[in-house]
């Protein structure tokens, strides 16, 4: 029986590619056995079991670039994590290890490689994370999602351009059916705004500043996904503005069916996480990307810049969100259908729909 150990975590951007890869291997090899390794601090502790896979945990944390004193604990956790990873590998005896990013990958992939087990890593972002750059020498192959990532790795012979593995739900949507089910009329300009399960105060504030003007416009449908932590606050603001019952605005705290809303949208407003960017292009959507400035090495900016440079997205940095900048940008697109169609066409051409196929074909099963 084939045994495959998957590791990656922290955010959904690392976890969902791992799940997509595991699902693909499982479909092709029904008898394969899987084990995920993560940390108790990451989203993987909930998401992985919800998707039917076993998971074990190790103690490891990321380096703190601002508070160096905290790194003594990080080093302690690292050595403990390496020991725990070796114990898990010894018990599970995997035929291969696949890492999809996040600091949890470090001890697991390194330990497996030292034990002579085949190792593979996948980098989602245009600007690779520190962990994956360090793990290059401990990996048999490195899958990258953007051509721009090549220059950050040393061994070009290991690199395979795959793209980001996209959940199959994003690839199987019927645009017209979703628009009908979401009550988007013919001629409506549908805007989807979201920023992950936690949401973004900055993006939410910008939308709320523009929402009265948007609600007064004809033929606009706004699907506003606030993030769980901001939903009540947003609802209260809408009630104060007498917009709670507006037919042109639908507010959700979060949805597990994001693919339906993205399929139906004319334009997507979001952060620029690697997986989100890949989902937008897989769906062939024009977008307004607002990269988070709070992530390591400002990597979301580089993800967004690839789409902006290709002319299928408008990149707005947080510092630009003053006055009615976001509203003006939305209206610029609403009033130029030709531009939106052109952006959508370019976006679709950038979309890599066969990433998981490429990965599967290049791992030695």
Rounded to whole angstroms, the Cα distance separating 140 from 365 reads 13
Taking a C-beta distance cutoff of 8 angstroms, is the pair 289, 314 a contact? Answer: yes
Q: Please state the φ and ψ torsions of residue 20, each to the nearest 5 degrees.
A: -65, -40
Averaged over successive runs of 10 residues, the pLDDT of the chain (365 residues) comes to 94 92 97 96 93 94 58 65 94 98 93 97 95 95 97 96 95 95 96 90 95 94 96 95 93 95 98 96 98 92 98 97 94 98 98 96 90
Helix boundaries (H) for the chain: 12-28, 44-50, 71-92, 105-114, 130-135, 175-181, 201-216, 231-240, 258-264, 274-282, 299-309, 325-334, 337-350, 355-362
Q: Give me the pLDDT at residue 64, please.
A: 55
Q: Does a structural domain hold residue 365?
A: no
Taking a C-beta distance cutoff of 8 angstroms, is the pair 219, 187 a contact? Answer: yes
Query: Is the same domain home to 144 and 102?
Result: yes
Query: Is the same domain home to 35 and 116?
Result: yes
Rounded to whole angstroms, the Cα distance separating 198 from 10 reads 13
Q: Give me the pLDDT at residue 271, please.
A: 97
Q: Give me the pLDDT at residue 63, please.
A: 55
Rounded to whole angstroms, the Cα distance separating 29 from 316 reads 44
Q: Does a structural domain hold residue 364?
A: no
Domain of residue 153 covers 3-161
Query: Is the same domain home to 131 and 182?
Result: no
Q: Give me the pLDDT at residue 76, please.
A: 66
Q: What is the DSSP letter of 249?
A: E
Query: Is the same domain home to 11 and 139?
Result: yes
Query: Is the same domain home to 123 and 180?
Result: no
Query: Is the same domain home to 345 and 247?
Result: yes
Query: Is the same domain home to 104 and 207?
Result: no
The pTM for the full model equals: 0.91
Grouping H, G, I as helix, E, B as strand and the rest as coil, residue 294 is coil
Q: Does a structural domain hold residue 51?
A: yes
Number of domains comprising the chain: 2
Q: Give me the pLDDT at residue 80, please.
A: 85
């Amino acid at each position: 029986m084939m045994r495959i150990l998957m590791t990656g975590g922290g955010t959904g951007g690392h976890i969902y590619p791992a799940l997509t890869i595991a699902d693909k291997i499982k479909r092709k090899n029904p008898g394969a056995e899987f084990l995920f390794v993560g940390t108790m601090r990451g989203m993987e502790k909930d998401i992985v079991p919800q998707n039917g896979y076993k998971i074990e945990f190790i103690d490891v944390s990321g380096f703190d670039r601002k508070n160096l004193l905290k790194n003594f604990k990080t080093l302690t956790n690292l050595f403990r994590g390496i020991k725990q990873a070796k114990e898990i590998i010894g018990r599970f005896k995997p035929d291969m290890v696949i890492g999809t990013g996040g600091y949890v990958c470090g001890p697991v992939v390194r330990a497996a490689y030292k034990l002579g087990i085949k190792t593979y890593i996948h980098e989602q972002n245009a600007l690779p994370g520190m962990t994956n750059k360090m793990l290059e020498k401990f990996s048999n192959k490195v899958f990258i999602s953007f051509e721009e990532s090549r220059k950050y790795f040393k061994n070009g012979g290991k690199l395979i351009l795959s793209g980001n593995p996209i959940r199959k739900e994003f690839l199987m949507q019927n645009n017209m059916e979703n628009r009908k089910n979401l009550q988007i009329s013919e001629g409506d300009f549908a805007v989807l705004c979201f920023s992950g399960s936690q949401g973004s105060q900055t993006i939410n504030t910008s939308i709320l500043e523009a929402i009265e003007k948007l609600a007064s416009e004809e033929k606009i449908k706004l699907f506003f996904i606030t993030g769980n932590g901001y939903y009540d606050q947003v609802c209260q603001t809408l009630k104060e503005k007498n917009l709670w019952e507006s037919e042109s605005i639908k507010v959700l705290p979060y949805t597990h069916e994001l693919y339906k809303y993205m399929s139906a949208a004319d334009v997507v407003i979001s952060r620029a996480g690697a997986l989100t960017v890949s989902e937008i292009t897989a769906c062939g959507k024009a977008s307004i990307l607002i990269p988070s400035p709070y992530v390591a090495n400002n990597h979301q900016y580089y993800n967004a810049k690839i789409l902006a440079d290709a002319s299928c997205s408008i990149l707005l940095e947080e510092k630009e969100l003053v006055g009615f900048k976001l509203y003006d940008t939305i209206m610029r697109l609403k009033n130029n259908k030709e531009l939106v169609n052109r952006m959508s066409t370019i976006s679709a051409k950038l979309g890599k729909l066969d990433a998981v196929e490429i990965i599967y074909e290049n791992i030695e099963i």
